[in-house]
Each structure stands twice: as structure tokens, then as C-alpha cells.
């Protein structure tokens, strides 16, 4: 995990209502480059006993947006490809510098980090800030995945 302050702002995310966080699969995914929390990806090749490589994007993922009270967006999963399910990449932001300027928007997962990959299912809900979207988020808008972004209106 890594942390930058007052340099680059990153996406802020949270696994709000994801079944894998309770009784499903949470996989260890090794990211190939700097990766924000909340990126939707696919499981890549087996790396070793407890880790997999990341594969960018997920063609079978579809979701719908709902406004969260804090200004972020809930993404409800509406479609997945069961043969290649999407994973929600998220590590709890652990920040050593606990100054008054501390903020999750400066947290990211550095290249080579092992990140929790929550395997998504239908009706799972996760939270995203506006930084991850391509397009303007709106209540009820459909989203898909392209690379590390959620694309609105597809």
C-alpha cells in the first residue's frame, strides 16, 4: 500500500454491501501498476498459492448508480459473467501520517501490492467517488467497465 499527500487525488471507495465480504470469496490480487481502491477488474493467472495476477477491466460487468448521502455513488451490480466474475479491488486505507491533512483521497495501492479482490455477485452494492467515472454520474445511470474506469451510459 502507498500514500501520497497533496499531490494526486485518487478514487475513494468502500465495499458497502458485498456478499464476498461476509461468506463469499475474497481473493488476493497482485496489481500490475498503481491502482486506486474501487477499480473493477478480473482475476488473472495463478501467481502462487494465495495470490492471482490482476487482469484489467471486466467485459461482463454492468451496474446502475444510486446517489449516496455523502456525495459519492452506490453502484448496484445488475449483470456479471459467471465464468469470469468481476472483482472489486479494495484495501483498507492504512496511512502512517495521521496529520490534519490525512484523507483517503490520497491513498492508492502501489504497483506490486497485494490487494483484496472481492468477487462480485448480482445485487452487491459498493460505493465510489466521482473520480472513477468516465462521464457524469446520475441517479439510475447504467455503468460498465473500461480499464480502470466505470463508464456511464453503456
CB 117 within 8 A of CB 52: yes
114-137 confidence digits (pLDDT tens): 999 999 999 999 999 999 999 999
User: What is the band of 11 on the pLDDT scale with cuts at 50, 70, 90?
Assistant: confident
| Distance (Å, whole) CA 47 – CA 44 | 9
Neighbours of 56 (CB within 10 A): 17
42, 43, 47, 51 alpha-carbon torsion, rounded to 10°: 110
Q: Higher-confidence residue: 95 or 139?
A: 139
- pLDDT recorded at residue 14: 85
Amino acid at each position: 500500500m502507498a500514500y501520497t499527500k497533496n499531490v494526486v487525488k485518487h478514487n475513494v471507495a468502500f465495499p458497502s454491501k458485498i456478499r464476498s465480504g461476509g461468506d463469499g470469496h475474497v481473493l488476493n490480487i497482485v496489481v500490475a501498476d498503481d491502482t486506486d481502491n474501487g477499480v473493477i477488474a478480473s482475476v488473472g493467472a495463478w501467481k502462487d498459492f494465495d495470490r492471482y495476477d490482476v487482469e484489467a477491466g471486466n467485459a461482463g460487468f454492468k451496474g446502475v448508480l444510486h446517489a449516496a448521502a455523502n456525495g459519492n455513488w452506490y453502484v448496484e451490480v445488475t449483470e456479471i459473467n459467471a465464468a469470469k466474475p468481476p472483482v472489486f479491488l479494495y484495501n483498507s486505507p492504512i496511512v502512517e501520517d495521521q496529520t490534519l491533512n490525512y484523507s483517503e483521497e490520497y491513498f492508492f495501492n502501489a504497483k506490486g501490492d497485494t490487494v483484496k479482490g472481492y468477487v462480485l455477485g448480482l445485487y452487491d452494492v459498493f460505493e465510489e467517488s466521482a473520480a472513477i467515472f468516465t462521464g457524469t454520474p446520475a441517479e439510475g445511470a447504467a455503468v460498465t467497465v473500461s480499464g480502470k474506469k466505470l463508464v456511464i451510459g453503456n
